[in-house]
Amino acid sequence: MKDVKIENMDWVSYHELTKKGACKIILPIGAIEQHGPHMSLNPDVLIPSYIAEKVAEKAGNMLVAPAISYGYKSQVKSGGGNFFPGTTCVTGSALENYVFDVLQAYVGHGNHEFILINGHFENSMHLCEAADKLVKKCAVEGITIKIYLLSYWDFISEDTIAQVFPDGFSGWAVEHGGVLETSIMLRIHPELVDMSKAVDVEPAKFPPYDVFPSDPTWVAPSGTLSSPLKATEEKGKLILEECVSGIVKHMS
């Protein structure tokens, strides 16, 4: 299988592949964020990176740019909150400018189609802003570009959800560090998961507002928003296959 990762290419080979805008560039964007005591800090980076590679290998006309690891601030109701040791985030303007700059550099190499694969919910609107600004700036310069933006979990069907959560699905909002991400990590990086340290928690229930400064008592001390105990590698395989084939179908 040929290597689809730009960072592993020499510049001449990269230039040959991309100079006429022949490839779509996939940029994974994640976060460094606690995901419970049973898992590493980087699922939000590793999951979209893995999906990006599989999509590029299948599609044939795509390359994967090095991932952006740092993401927008973890929020209590979606990521446990920005106060956990290890959770290391940047401001929205920093993320937006960084993504803008990286994409603009790839435009400079002759690329004009991009797929942003997001792995961290809180990034979403900042990625919209970066994409929107760059499209407009390029248009002013007479360059037409197209940027697709997606979060991988939006490719998971209700059928798959029913199989992954046979006892009922508590919703995406509380999936942080739960069955979904843990199952995927068991599939792609089992060495970064220790199920003996997984903590069983009830799905988090939050008031219908946010508060600043954050109130750490809103989150279970373990940091996950639901229980990871029913995670399995098989569930991870099922989720990944659906995400990869769905993204290939829509983006090829």
Residues recognised as catalytic: 33, 35, 44, 120, 122, 176, 181
Choice between 79 and 81, CB closer to Mn ion? 79
Using alpha carbons, select from 187, 228, 230 the residue that is nearest to residue 54.
187
For the bound state, the minimum distance from the C-beta of residue 208 to Zn ion, rounded and expressed in Å, comes to 23
Candidates 44, 96, 113, 122: give the one binding Zn ion (CB under 5 A). 44
Count interface residues toward Zn ion (CB under 5 A): 2
Tell me how far apart the alpha carbons of residues 213 and 247 are, in angstroms, rounded to a whole number. 38
User: Which residues, at least 6 apart from 208, have a Cβ–Cβ distance to it below 8 Å?
Assistant: none
Q: How far is the CB of 31 from Mn ion (least distance, A)?
A: 5
Q: CB under 5 to 8 A by kind: which of Zn ion, Mn ion, none does 236 bind?
A: none
> Rounded CA gap, 61 and 92, in Å?
31
Residue with the CB atom nearest Mn ion in the bound state:
120
Reference 5, options 31, 27, 21, 22; nearest CA is 27
CB of 160 to Mn ion, least distance (A): 20
Query: Torsion-angle region of residue 11: left (phi > 0), alpha (psi -120 to 50) or beta?
Result: alpha
Find tokens 């959800």 and name the residue. 161
**C-alpha 156, offset from chain centre:** 14
- C-beta of 120 vs 235, nearer to Mn ion: 120
Q: CA-CA distance, 69 to 49, in Å (whole number)?
A: 10
As a whole number of angstroms, the distance between CA 244 and CA 52 comes to: 8
By CB under 5 A, what part of segment 43-82 binds Mn ion? 44, 79
How far is it, in rounded angstroms, from Cα 217 to Cα 205?
Answer: 11
Rg, Å, the chain Cα set? 18
Nearer to Zn ion, 107 or 201 (CB): 201
120 binds Mn ion (CB under 5 A): yes
Q: Which is nearer to Zn ion, 44 or 113 (CB)?
A: 44
- Closest contact distance (angstroms) between CB of 100 and Mn ion is 21
> Could you tell me the smallest distance in angstroms from the CB atom of residue 55 to Mn ion?
20
Query: Binding marks (x or -) toward Zn ion, 9..38, rule CB under 5 A?
Result: ------------------------------
- Positions that interact with Zn ion (CB under 5 A): 43-44
Which spans of this chain sit near Mn ion (rule: CB under 5 A)? 31, 33, 44, 79, 120
